[in-house]
Amino acid sequence: MQTVPDDSPYQASSQSAALEADSGQPQPDPAPAPPRRYGGVGLWVRDLVVAAAASVLIVVFLYQPVRVEGTSMLPQLVDSDRLFINKFVYRISSIERGDVVVFHYPRDPEKSYIKRVIALPGDRLRIDQGVVWLNGKPQTEAYVPEEYRDSRSMAEMVIPEDSFFMMGDHRSISSDSREFGPVERSLIYGKAVFVYWPTRDAGVVR
């Protein structure tokens, strides 16, 4: 910082300017500050970095894009559909019947499956000629079209604590809990929420 002695010409001119201002005489407008040459580019780069960081945080902690392989979730999900799964939602809410979830395949945790939650811990479940019975009541499953139903049966069982019974909507071809049993909660890592590609299939997963 530059210091100016009291007896310098700068000091005198400053006093003169102050006197002129007090006299009521109009003063010329101060010269505009020179434009910042790189301000616009700097703001653009900053916004880009913030947006990229926010996108990474969203993907890492909230949403993850995945691709469907297979047809066991027809007609809701088609082979090669791209969708987002919410990886955070089950930390603040419970898994519900009817949710479409992604989980590590119990027999090979390196693989991931996507199925619908049919029964919760403690539910009594049996399947009679393709009809799912929960706690003594037959279920009306609107998400399973008639042409995708099968006639398989399964003896009644009680879903173990902290486990969930999963089934695909295309019942006649789905490999699900009817084969590998209920899925432990620790293996479930996301809820399917939105198909984004291809655009013809785009929409909320129900």
Look up residue 12 and give its two tokens.
């005198």
Look up residue 140 and give its two tokens.
């009306």
Report CA 155 to chain centroid distance, whole Å. 37
CA distance 203 to 181: 30
Active-site residue, from 80, 87, 112, 115 = 115
Active-site residue 115, yes or no?
Answer: yes
Q: Find where tokens 């693989």 sit.
A: 111
Active-site residue, from 8, 13, 72, 175 = 72
Active-site residue 177, yes or no?
Answer: no
Beta bridge partner(s), residue 183:
164
Look up residue 2 and give its two tokens.
């530059």
- Beta carbons of 130 and 150 less than 8 angstroms apart: yes
Backbone angles phi, psi at 100, to 5 degrees: -95, 115
Q: Which residues contact 34 (CB under 8 A, 6 or more apart)?
A: none
Residues annotated as part of the active site:
72, 115
